[in-house]
Chains A and B, each alone.
Chain A
């Protein structure tokens, strides 16, 4: 249906359908965010000997996040007196919008996808870079020294880690010969790329955690150093926007990892009777769980070590991966 829509001439009905579908996706993503936050708190709670949320919405705290969001909505909206007002207001939106935009390119199953861009991967990486601008803007506009430091760290970190992130997927592009995410998944019919390019997967995974600003790379918002980093002056729903950005990116990044390395909706051999979307959800959940697990285990890196790690370790390894991938392709995939 999407292909038909995309290729036919534009009109009001099309616009309405797209709008409706977009709203659907937003609801799905927000639903995911709601329960991803709950899952994170529950899993972390389990690892840290705490019960986690267990009051609102029954024994498992199923409505805890909903209650939290409601609280954020009715909170007073404060803007610091000396803040750069227009930028301060624009920043959360600018950070959030790309997080949602990147989802358009991701195929969730064979049929469930919103656009079949021939350069889907490039689109994802290009758009996600805009968020950095939003974060830097928030850090600057708050007129707070901690925010500024957080914003600076964030810009440095995200730019540095984007490079190994992009280079690590070149292996995948070599294998599939395409930037189209659907083609990439179809290329993994026989074997997932994680087995062909384990090095690439490791670099990609580490860089993606850094891109997501999660432990051990959560320096931009290092609570114990910068109090909260770039969003220290934000409250209420503006703050929620930043949190939302983070979790939507978690969704997007886990989905992208699934597509690139874990074979998307392709089933494990002999289990093909389970529908693709469930396979996708399963693989996706494993990635999310792994990220939460890391958060429960690791301390935080220092800013200079973070940079060193990106440029001196990840980048060379990612470059090496291109070479290894080319050899692997020559030997096994011909």
Chain B
């Protein structure tokens, strides 16, 4: 008699395609996954607990390290939460700078996703092309904030640095360049038969499942639900720009790919308009006290990060440190659907599905 048994396969935390220190324990039968058990927490740094002993401005650099691929949105969510509590009026120039850096960050983040996703699927060149464009964006952000990845750029009430001379011009030139490169990506990848075969129908879930699992961002929009907080619950000055919320119906990895690629285009639209409307001069910081003490109470704000809905809850006792701080980290929530998607799939699809969710481990582990 032939006796067969399941094999336990440990993937990660050191594995080239788990995007950091994510670990997943698989039970496999041949190459088919029977059960998947994710293990997270290897990058847990206790941001929320640390914040309880920090002044509000001191928390900002910690948020950089959560979603380190789109640190600007993280900066914004904590500032936005405190500003909401304090009812601060933000100067117009600062708002434009914020939107510009956030949207550039969104493009950079999607570019990293695009590159690493294709790398996961086995194509190396798109990765290097995407990083070339990302490098240009990082250069721009470096110029304004002095850092390439962990910007620590925003402050409660505005931004730390004004745009250096010629910065706006550089962005103006960057937009058409990026559009051209983007069409190059589509030529190289989007029509590739092998790529389509790898992503179409893989990691499928329905609208209801997406809502049940509280997915957000492109992971939600890929099921056809057009939900984008920039549009549906407009914050900052997003109501001044015209842009679409791309949504695709199929709910598979292919739809998620299309969603993110379309989002790059939408972000470019916003950047273009923001550059046109950019105020000639003005303040970049509101009048805020030296030591920030939000009034007693609590607040929850949510914004659209490249990965989905990022939220910040603050409970304040009127002191200079928060009583409790909580981040709704979209990667963490989006990851929850993974074990369900993996059951019955081939091991090769593990990478396609995990990559398609677009997680950043710094954010998953907090």
A interface list, Cβ under 8 A from B: 44, 47-50, 145-146, 149, 152-153, 215-216, 218-219, 222-227, 295-305
The answer to whether B122 touches A222 (Cβ under 8 A) is yes
The docked-state distance in angstroms from the alpha carbon of A302 to that of B347 is 9
**How many contacting A-B pairs (Cβ < 8 A)?**
80
Q: B293 on the interface (CB 8 Å rule)? A: no
A298 CB, nearest partner CB in chain B, Å: 6
B195 CB, nearest partner CB in chain A, Å: 5
Instruction: Give the chain A neighbours of B348 by CB distance below 8 A.
Output: 219, 222, 225, 302-303
Instruction: Give the chain A neighbours of B197 by CB distance below 8 A.
Output: 301-302, 305
The docked-state distance in angstroms from the alpha carbon of A149 to that of B120 is 17
Residue of A nearest to B126 (CB): A299
Closest 8 pairs (CB-CB, A-B): A300-B122, A299-B123, A224-B17, A48-B128, A299-B121, A302-B348, A299-B122, A224-B120
The docked-state distance in angstroms from the alpha carbon of A48 to that of B346 is 30
Q: B184 on the interface (CB 8 Å rule)? A: no
The answer to whether A299 touches B194 (Cβ under 8 A) is yes
Instruction: Give the chain B neighbours of A49 by CB distance below 8 A.
Output: 128-129, 132
Helix, strand, loop or mixed for chain A's interface?
Answer: helix
B310-366 contacts to A (CB < 8 Å): 346-351
Q: A49-B128, A49-B132 are in contact. Are A218 and B122 (CB under 8 A)?
A: yes
The answer to whether A301 touches B198 (Cβ under 8 A) is yes
Q: B16 on the interface (CB 8 Å rule)? A: yes
Of A152, A216, A222, A297, which contacts B125 at CB under 8 A?
A297
Q: A222-B348, A227-B16, A301-B198 are in contact. Are A296 and B121 (CB under 8 A)?
A: no
11 A-B pairs within 8 Å (CB atoms) are namely A48-B124, A218-B122, A224-B351, A295-B124, A298-B192, A299-B121, A299-B122, A300-B122, A300-B123, A301-B194, A302-B348
Q: Mark B171-197, 1 if CB is under 8 A from A, else 0.
A: 000000000000000001100101101
The docked-state distance in angstroms from the alpha carbon of A152 to that of B17 is 21
B274 CB, nearest partner CB in chain A, Å: 29
B125, B132, B189 interface centre (most CB from chain A within 10 Å): B125
B16, B188, B346, B348 interface centre (most CB from chain A within 10 Å): B348
A47, A145, A152, A299 interface centre (most CB from chain B within 10 Å): A299
The answer to whether A225 touches B17 (Cβ under 8 A) is yes
Instruction: Give the chain A neighbours of B118 by CB distance below 8 A.
Output: 299
The answer to whether A216 touches B350 (Cβ under 8 A) is no
Instruction: Give the chain A neighbours of B168 by CB distance below 8 A.
Output: none
Chain B: residues with Cβ within 8 Å of the partner, total of 30
Known: A223-B16, A298-B194. 11 other contacts (CB 8 A): A48-B128, A152-B31, A216-B122, A218-B122, A219-B348, A222-B348, A225-B348, A226-B347, A295-B124, A297-B188, A301-B194
B200 CB, nearest partner CB in chain A, Å: 11
A259 CB, nearest partner CB in chain B, Å: 29
Helix, strand, loop or mixed for chain B's interface?
Answer: helix
The answer to whether B125 touches A296 (Cβ under 8 A) is yes
The answer to whether A303 touches B31 (Cβ under 8 A) is yes
Q: B119 on the interface (CB 8 Å rule)? A: yes
A48, A224, A304 interface centre (most CB from chain B within 10 Å): A224
B120-165 contacts to A (CB < 8 Å): 120-125, 128-129, 132
The answer to whether B194 touches A149 (Cβ under 8 A) is no
Q: B50 on the interface (CB 8 Å rule)? A: no
B interface list, Cβ under 8 A from A: 7, 9, 15-17, 31, 118-125, 128-129, 132, 188-189, 192, 194-195, 197-198, 346-351
A54 CB, nearest partner CB in chain B, Å: 16
Instruction: Give the chain B neighbours of A296 by CB distance below 8 A.
Output: 124-125
Instruction: Give the chain A neighbours of B132 by CB distance below 8 A.
Output: 49
The docked-state distance in angstroms from the alpha carbon of A146 to that of B7 is 11
The docked-state distance in angstroms from the alpha carbon of A49 to that of B15 is 26
The answer to whether A303 touches B128 (Cβ under 8 A) is no
Instruction: Give the chain B neighbours of A299 by CB distance below 8 A.
Output: 118, 121-123, 189, 192, 194-195, 198
The docked-state distance in angstroms from the alpha carbon of A302 to that of B349 is 8
The docked-state distance in angstroms from the alpha carbon of A215 to that of B125 is 12
The docked-state distance in angstroms from the alpha carbon of A78 to that of B178 is 48
The answer to whether A225 touches B128 (Cβ under 8 A) is no
The answer to whether B192 touches A302 (Cβ under 8 A) is no
Residue of A nearest to B30 (CB): A152
The answer to whether A149 touches B31 (Cβ under 8 A) is yes
A44, A49, A297, A304 interface centre (most CB from chain B within 10 Å): A297
Residue of B nearest to A297 (CB): B125
Residue of A nearest to B202 (CB): A302
The answer to whether B122 touches A215 (Cβ under 8 A) is yes
The docked-state distance in angstroms from the alpha carbon of A49 to that of B181 is 14
Residue of B nearest to A218 (CB): B122
The answer to whether B194 touches A216 (Cβ under 8 A) is yes
Of B7, B17, B349, B350, which contacts A145 at CB under 8 A?
B7
Instruction: Give the chain A neighbours of B17 by CB distance below 8 A.
Output: 224-225
Residue of A nearest to B7 (CB): A145
The docked-state distance in angstroms from the alpha carbon of A215 to that of B189 is 15
Of B189, B194, B346, which contacts A303 at CB under 8 A?
B346
The docked-state distance in angstroms from the alpha carbon of A295 to that of B7 is 32
Residue of A nearest to B132 (CB): A49
The answer to whether A145 touches B122 (Cβ under 8 A) is no
The docked-state distance in angstroms from the alpha carbon of A224 to that of B353 is 13
The answer to whether A225 touches B350 (Cβ under 8 A) is yes
Instruction: Give the chain B neighbours of A301 by CB distance below 8 A.
Output: 194, 197-198
B29 CB, nearest partner CB in chain A, Å: 12
A218, A222, A296 interface centre (most CB from chain B within 10 Å): A222
Instruction: Give the chain B neighbours of A223 by CB distance below 8 A.
Output: 16
Residue of A nearest to B197 (CB): A305
A280 CB, nearest partner CB in chain B, Å: 30
The docked-state distance in angstroms from the alpha carbon of A50 to that of B192 is 23
The docked-state distance in angstroms from the alpha carbon of A32 to that of B16 is 31
Instruction: Give the chain A neighbours of B192 by CB distance below 8 A.
Output: 298-299
The answer to whether B195 touches A302 (Cβ under 8 A) is no
The docked-state distance in angstroms from the alpha carbon of A304 to that of B129 is 29
The docked-state distance in angstroms from the alpha carbon of A153 to that of B346 is 12
The answer to whether A48 touches B125 (Cβ under 8 A) is yes
The answer to whether B346 touches A227 (Cβ under 8 A) is no
Q: A145-B7, A302-B197, A303-B31 are in contact. Are A297 and B123 (CB under 8 A)?
A: yes
